[in-house]
Structure 1
């Protein structure tokens, strides 16, 4: 009896004992569903968040004053020479020259402790005012819910207009009052509200853009009477593959503007805006480990159930085993038959488990947030490998027991 006949016999046995096969396969399917479902949901949710981060500047890079403050840079415990801060003229010149490569925005945080007034109402002195250009909101992925973004004319002439967060509206205006085109006061000047930002929510106890005011960067530069403002440039990368190349080009442009000599260190800092994406990947890794562990525990329970059923099958088919041995079947062929039968049952359950897992995982992910349909090919391959392993580990003991049965005693078994 060769291997091919063994496979046919195993398939025939699976077909004859259809109810037992379905029940056993269901046990395996539940384990695979839990494994593939959780891992699919994790990967699909991660893909959705990454798409959101791409709009929030995950592929951007920042150019700012060295040491973040324009003062002395410290490295390896040694104080290096002092570097001049990136000024408004430097930033504007960079933006102009870099425009042939990609988009960039110039901005400066003017103050993080500003009191905003409107008539008799005023806020606490905890509002952040930032001078920005017309590309700041799109590059940073901040959306204007009501009103509009700054126009080129308002940016060019530094008009007294502003875009504000939702918390500011709640503090200074009545619930049903329209805040657009109304005026507020800060820095001793009146500013007209032209836009209201989409609510961002709080992170770490702060309000972020909800408690922020944005004004044209040129308007903000006029407030720099002592020349202490530091300006930051955020350049938008075309895609992650070309990011390093574009950063190199930006470095060359900025060194030329800053007149950094050959062999001298950069008088500025350039950093990737990918810390959130990297943190997300780390968290997703932990979630995958947790999902795989839970799914594996479920599969261990399924393999024990399969082993129990296969042991019962050996007992039920003792006489059949005796007949096959009497006809010349070796212990190896007997073991092969039961192992193949266990693997086939596992693979049948695995197919249904993978289909259910992919469906459930994508449903969960799309319930949390709208996104596409993800097919985790790697986890599908891993699942089938696991099915074969479970079949081998669960079927070996019953197969070994069957191969050791005495043919004479087996023939006499009722």
Structure 2
């Protein structure tokens, strides 16, 4: 233990004696570690955002939506298999006939990138406008902060009213403004704000707080198109019934769409937690790519450290000769340079880890998922620094240990 402390002390003295070179070396390592830890921490923040977003919808929710396009490739060049959109009549019939202990809502995406206006104020063109029924905010995991929800009369009458997210209220009325009972413009129409939704966060881009909800029939009338598709959300209070209700829902909707018994369903039923899992699985591929990029950056840093350590050996040839003349063995010299390389690498790595955490949390705050400390990547970063220090310092240390003491003392 005393031998290790002595070598660390010698390494620190050497770093102090060559501050500029040591600082440059540390910066090289810190950039590599910052790239690795920062990218992976940012991806963790995105995963947390996805989990939070779908957890807020509840694990007792499932969605009936359009089936994904299924591309088939054959020798005869088959065209992609496409499925017909879910129509309003089909969705409305399902809601009417699904007589089980569950809450059902029908909705549609009226506009993916709308700009909302109030007098001289306007939002960015990134507001999602949904057409929803009286159950929409309940099945989508939203709560009212103030105001009221849609009534059945509002839906059937196609009223020009809207519920808006907190970000929309801030953009149009300021941080302390009150949007209730004000008239705003959505597209070319004027809508009265009857409710403001509680903050939910904008992670993953699924509506979040940049949202406006208008009555379903109003959306059909003013934003409708032949390709408009509708989504059905089903929420049950008893999570034990979820799988049973899912099978019942699939059977009923197959009947509504007149799918033969032997035919495949031309729609998807997705549980909210399954959708989160699918997105996270896709992110795993991104994580792999980001890790490779980070490791390549770190490899460049390791090569830079090795080069600087080789220069250090050349500059300190006389010092090595004196140590050998005083009785230092090859193993002692080798360990001294290895430990010095590790110390430089760890010190630079700690700086890189700190900046990596900052980058990850900046992205976390942007996604409204809160502050977090990526302990796994902190520990992994320190271990990587030690490994890189050993690998980068091995060749210079070996070269230093093999120097002839007489030639070293003569070195100028």
In structure 1, the residue matched to 2:64 is 63
**Is contact 1:168–1:211 with CA below 8 Å preserved after alignment?**
yes
In structure 1, the residue matched to 2:262 is 263
Shift of 1:392: 0.6
**Is contact 1:32–1:354 with CA below 8 Å preserved after alignment?**
yes
The one of 335, 357, 360 equivalent to 1:365 is: 360
Partners of 1:111 and 1:317 lie apart in 2 by 73
The one of 246, 267, 292 equivalent to 1:250 is: 246
**Is contact 1:183–1:193 with CA below 8 Å preserved after alignment?**
yes
CA shift digits 1:251-278 (9 cap, x unpaired) = 5631344235653311423467568656
Structure 1 or 2, whichever has the larger Rg, is: 1
Against the structure 1 CA distance between its residues 256 and 185, is the aligned structure 2 distance closer, same or farther, given a 3 Å change threshold? same
TM-score (norm 1): 0.62
Shift of 1:167: 12
Shift of 1:295: 3.6
CA shift digits 1:92-142 (9 cap, x unpaired) = 26976484xxx875312468999x999xxxxxxxx9864214564577678
What are the ranges of 5 or more consecutive residues in structure 2 without an aligned counterpart?
Answer: 119-126
What are the ranges of 5 or more consecutive residues in structure 1 without an aligned counterpart?
Answer: 1-6, 119-126, 326-333
Partners of 1:224 and 1:11 lie apart in 2 by 73
The one of 378, 385, 398 equivalent to 1:383 is: 385
**Is contact 1:129–1:213 with CA below 8 Å preserved after alignment?**
yes
Q: Does residue 20 of structure 1 match 2:14?
A: yes
Summarize the alignment of residues 225-236 of structure 1 with structure 2, pairs less than 5 Å apart: 230-234=229-233
Partners of 1:372 and 1:152 lie apart in 2 by 41
Against the structure 1 CA distance between its residues 133 and 213, is the aligned structure 2 distance closer, same or farther, given a 3 Å change threshold? same
**Is contact 1:251–1:270 with CA below 8 Å preserved after alignment?**
no
**Is contact 1:133–1:217 with CA below 8 Å preserved after alignment?**
yes
**Is contact 1:109–1:131 with CA below 8 Å preserved after alignment?**
yes
Partners of 1:300 and 1:81 lie apart in 2 by 52
Shift of 1:83: 6.8
In structure 2, the residue matched to 1:48 is 45
Against the structure 1 CA distance between its residues 354 and 89, is the aligned structure 2 distance closer, same or farther, given a 3 Å change threshold? same
**Is contact 2:110–2:224 with CA below 8 Å preserved after alignment?**
no
Shift of 1:194: 0.9
Q: Does residue 299 of structure 1 match 2:294?
A: no
Partners of 1:381 and 1:324 lie apart in 2 by 33
TM-score (norm 2): 0.62
Count of paired positions: 371
